[in-house]
Amino acid sequence: MPVPPTLPMMYWPTEKPYELLEVTTRDIKIASLAFGWTLGFGYFTACHAVRETRRSGRVNTYVILIWGELFVCLIFATICWLYLTRDIPPSFWFFFSILTTWALQVHFLLQIIVNRLCILLSSNEKRNWLRWGTAALITAINISVYSIWLPAKLQINHTYHDVNIWWDRVEKCLYLIVDGALNWYFVKTVKDRLVIHGGILKKYDRLVRFNTWIVWISLSMDVLIITMMSLRNNFVYMQFHPVAYIVKLNIEMAMGNLITKVARDTGIRVTEGDSSADFQTNSMSVQVQVNRQQFTVKDDIELSEAGNSNWVPTKDPSNSSSVNVELFTRSEKNKV
């Protein structure tokens, strides 16, 4: 028989009275370790974000995404820690806030990956498909999480709890697949552009290999989150969310060096930190001038009489003409 809601600001009946989460000393130690790492590494990430902002020179989509990711990670880590230490009581709005900051973490980070990938795509159609397709897929997954995770944490009934146990792991694996697919497409696009534009892959071979390795480190953070889900306290593992995403954010900013170098060396004029790029191939316009001179019989006799002298015949301006031959079209010439 349903019982009246026992949590503050909750308006749905539950299967049984709400049971508080049991938090042990071991749980606090593990959570403290993760929270301390978030704050410490968050400081260096903030310094990196400041450098990226200064390099961009203006507030654009990329700058908003990196600062938004950093702030939601810090907010998530703080309120999660305060909940485990009993400073924040359980309530509908607390669980809703936790879930919303988590959803923003995922959205911001994946859009940062899409943002750097769009720099290397020459087709606006591909950019829009990638940008909006990723956003639509992640939004659909997040809606399912809101529909399952929130009722499970509010202890509406035991069915939500059971479904959430396996769906929580499934959606984490889906994020890992999406993250891996975007990074694979990015590395493939980089190599393709280097090979097509003059075969300069060797020039950036070490840089490409380095960025490939840090992509694997980024993906290992998703594996870390999935692994921590085996902890007894299912809220302690959530303290590792901001740890993983701050590390991933720092990696994404570090990959900006490769993006800029590859883009500029393959004919893309890039505005620092933005996904907009002007795809132009630098070319040089060459103008050839051909002079045509008409000679008469008298001119031929005078030339033969001149012999080895230094006399130079004077051409008649009325009989000469100049032809300009353009080796490039007018539109190509205007690009230079």
pLDDT digits (tens, 9 = 90+) for 226-255: 998 888 888 898 999 999 999 999 998 888
- CA 157 to chain CA mean position, Å: 39
- Residue 331 or 201, more confident: 201
> Would 177 be classed as within a structural domain?
yes
Residues 274-291 have a mean pLDDT of 42
Which of the listed residues 229, 252, 277 is the one where a domain comes to its end? Answer: 277
Specify if 14 maps to a domain.
no
Task: Reduce the DSSP state of residue 307 to 3 states and report it.
Answer: coil
Distance CA 64, CA 62 (A): 5
pTM for the complete prediction? 0.73
User: Are residue 94 and residue 69 in the same domain, yes or no?
Assistant: yes
Higher-pLDDT residue of 296 and 221 is 221
Same-domain pairing of 231 and 191: yes
Give the per-residue pLDDT at 118.
Answer: 83
**Rg of the chain (C-alpha set):** 32
Percent of the chain with pLDDT over 90: 39
325 torsion bin: left (phi>0), alpha (psi -120 to 50), beta (else): beta
Q: Is residue 246 part of a domain?
A: yes
Looking at the fold, whether 58 and 138 belong to one and the same domain comes out as yes
Give 182-198 as a DSSP string: HHHHHHHHHHHHHHHTT
pLDDT value at 178 more than 90: yes
Is 232 in the same domain as 273? yes
Q: Identify whether 13 is part of a domain.
A: no
Do 127 and 184 lie in one domain? The reply is yes
Q: What span, in angstroms and rounded, lies between the C-alpha atoms of 19 and 174?
A: 31
Question: pLDDT digits over 102-132, tens only?
Answer: 999 999 999 999 988 887 787 788 889 999 9
Q: Examine residue 221 and state whether it is found in any structural domain, yes or no.
A: yes
pLDDT band at 258 (very low <50, low <70, confident <90, very high): low
Is the same domain home to 200 and 329? no
Task: Tally helices (H) and strands (E) across the chain.
Answer: 10, 4
Which amino acid, residue 113? I
Element at 326 (helix H, strand E): strand 321-326
Say whether both 315 and 166 belong to one domain: no
270 and 293 in a single domain? The answer is: no
For 117, the token pair is 């990938």
3-state SS class at 139: helix
Total count of domains within the chain = 2
Q: Residue 67 sits in a domain of what CATH number? A: 1.20.1070
Residue 18 resides in a domain: no
Same domain, 75 and 153: yes
Whether 6 maps to a domain, the answer reads no
Mean pLDDT, all residues of the chain: 78
Tell whether the model's pLDDT for residue 180 goes beyond 80. Answer: yes
Shared-domain flag, residues 291 and 254: no
Q: How far apart are the C-alpha atoms of 120 and 191, rounded to whole Å?
A: 11
- CA-closest candidate to residue 242, choices 150, 142, 109, 48: 109
**What's the rounded Cα separation, in Å, for the pair 217 and 92?**
35
**Residues 185, 150 share a domain:** yes
| Count of alpha carbons within 13 angstroms of residue 282, beta-carbon side | 7
- pLDDT of 64 above 50: yes
**Other Cβ atoms within 10 Å of 90 Cβ, number:** 20
Q: Are 192 and 124 in contact (CB under 8 A)?
A: no
Which whole number is the average pLDDT over 81-86? 92
Q: Which domain holds residue 244?
A: 25-277
Residue 151 in domain: yes
